[in-house]
Amino acid sequence: MNKRLMILILIILSIGVTYYIEVNKKEVSMETRAKVEAELAQDPTFPARPVWWEKGHLLGVGVIFEGQNHDGDARRVCQILDKHGVRPATVQVFDVLKIQNDDDWVQVGAAVCSR
């Protein structure tokens, strides 16, 4: 088997596996989302509602960026998601002031939550 064919087969398999994983993710209920949002609202680190939810498994949150990396904040959000049974999940942290003032989406942290 030549290398091109092998690479093509691997690409097709990876697309198929990715599609299968995405299709089989259960949508996170609005009730669970509301509970997570309420808990985030209690933490002054997150001054705004989550920026977005994608099927509830990709969560974008905003923080006030002061020059430091916010991966630790993303991991804290992962703990909240895990507490509410949202797995797997990815958290992305954005500078909320940049979004509000310039419509500029500057990511300042991220975490992949436990699977």
pLDDT tens-place string over residues 34-48: 899 999 989 999 988
Nearest to 105 by CA among 97, 12, 43: 97
* More confident call, 114 vs 92: 92
**Cβ atoms of 94 and 106 closer than 8 Å:** yes
| 23 pLDDT tier (thresholds 50, 70, 90) | low
Query: Which residues, in sequence order, are CB contacts of 20 under 8 Å at separation 6+?
Result: none
3-state secondary structure of 103: coil
Average pLDDT over residues 81-108: 89
Tens of pLDDT, residue by residue over 45-94, are: 998 888 777 776 889 999 999 889 999 999 999 999 999 988 888 999 99
Structure tokens that stand for 56 in this block: 């509830």
Check residue 6 and give its pLDDT: 85
pLDDT at 20 over 80: no
